[in-house]
Amino acid sequence: MDPCAPTQLQPETNTSGRKVFCVKFQKELPGLDEPPWPGELGQRIYENVSKDAWKLWEERMKMILNEYRLLPWQKEAHDLIAKYMEDFFFGESAALPPGYVPPQQKK
């Protein structure tokens, strides 16, 4: 197996064994081990978002940072990321369609 080859999104495991009903996938999945973001938003994500959904978000966040040419440590970046994160997980069309399968990455 080539360690440099891209891989498909693999189900994440967590060290605590904690499960959540994921708002993105609409089913029970392994949860995050700790809140991934400070404050109330981080707590909501911790309680309602699976590790798999968080992985999807990380890819989206990279795209947003690149699109707006932001640096992760900038206050403007934090504010914008929080806005998009809230919408990604808890917005009107946050849940993925039933039976959604992540697209395979190009090789």
Structural domains of the chain in order of their starting residue, each with its CATH number = 19-90 (1.10.3880.10)
| Mean pLDDT of all residues belonging to the chain | 81
Query: Does residue 65 surpass a pLDDT of 80?
Result: yes
Of the pLDDT bands very low, low, confident and very high (cuts 50, 70, 90), residue 101 is low
pLDDT single digits (tens) 29-51? 999 999 999 999 999 999 999 99
pLDDT single digits (tens) 49-63? 999 999 999 999 999
Q: Which carries the bigger pLDDT value, residue 70 or residue 16?
A: 70
φ/ψ region of 20 (left if φ > 0, alpha if ψ in -120 to 50, else beta) reads beta
Q: How far apart are CA 68 and CA 56, in angstroms?
A: 19
